[in-house]
Structure 1
Amino acid sequence: MAAVAIVGWLAAHPRRGIEPRAVVLQGLALAIFAGAATEALILRMGDGTAGMAITWLSGTLNGVGWPEVARGAWLLLLMLPLLLAGRALDRLELGEDLARALGVRVALLRAGLGLVAAIVAAGAVALCGPMAFVALVAEPVGRLMSYGRPSPVAAMLAGAAFVTLADTLARAIAPAALLPTGLYTALIGAPVLILAVRRMARG
């Protein structure tokens, strides 16, 4: 939550509000800073604890069972505002000025949905660690599924299918090694993201 607040504050413009490009750049800078701090903490750990931390940082579903599913069930309730925001996001695609003219409270919408999305993402990461490219793949693939329109439902389904596929491959290809699921999301996600962005650019 602190990271979201800092990025929002740094990326805000007095007249134009929050600028998407500034969000990306400030978020990238904050991520690099946080990554360096994480590496410093790992270097101070013992070998066993450091190994567990590195595995978790790769994103893994190993050892995740029904107790973890039960602890994460509350995230489904928080996702309801995101799933119901498709129409408002559709109007926001038209531009901030036109969206405001259509009755969308742009600043409140972005702040509210951003906060909810951050909590949901943080809850998921707390259970299984960060998995590379899931969010970056889910959004463009979800757009392709919904014919170019922003669809939280399609993005959610695409992300869930992507993680399930990666975990299935992790257990099928090297069951003895049981490599982290995040390794496979990165290997699959990078080319899928490139193809999806190229297709959207051509469209």
Structure 2
Amino acid sequence: MDITAMAVRDAYRITPRRLPDHRGEFFEAVRREALEAVTGHPFVVRQVNYSVSRRHTLRGIHGTTLPPGQAKLVTCVSGAVLDVVVDLRAGSPTFGRFDVTRQDGESGISVYLADGLGHAFLALTDDVRMAYLCSEEYVPGTMVDIDALDPDLALPWPSGPEVIRSAKDAAAPRLADALHRLPTYEQCLAAYGRTPARDGGQR
């Protein structure tokens, strides 16, 4: 697989090398050692989630406070989505920056998000199924929700029919109004035994 750094620091796009034959295809979605070599820290899965969405469904932006935080490996296993990572870490060099990945069930592309990064996606087809491998179990009260339609973020959602959102996502605050809830960049680095002086930018 190829693991490449994204425009948001500590987010990575994982593109598998697909092996086709007369039966279909096989590929490795991720290797623990390969991912750790790039990120500089282990990724241990403690919870696995799935979501099923209709076309035009917009989920997110979702993140977590620290501690405990929650790193994620997100994959579209059916259908197609426009997947977005947003840096929600106050004080980060890429705070408020985003990057976009088209994911679908055919490509096997995944996105890894470290603690403190936010995630959102728009379902481009019906019967979208997303898999989330999470480094921590869900802890009530630690979720951070940001409005995915925040005009200050200006995320590049395609124009078209009105999106379908949960009441919670539709009521989420803009990024500027949620600063008191956001984890700091220093907190997130400390969770991995790093400091700003030792960080040195994207690995």
Q: Give the TM-score of the pair, scaled to structure 2.
A: 0.25
| Larger relative helix fraction | 1
| Larger relative strand fraction | 2
Q: Considering only CA atoms, is the larger Rg found in Structure 1 or Structure 2?
A: 1
Higher relative contact order (CA 8 A, sep 6+): 2
Q: Give the TM-score of the pair, scaled to structure 1.
A: 0.25
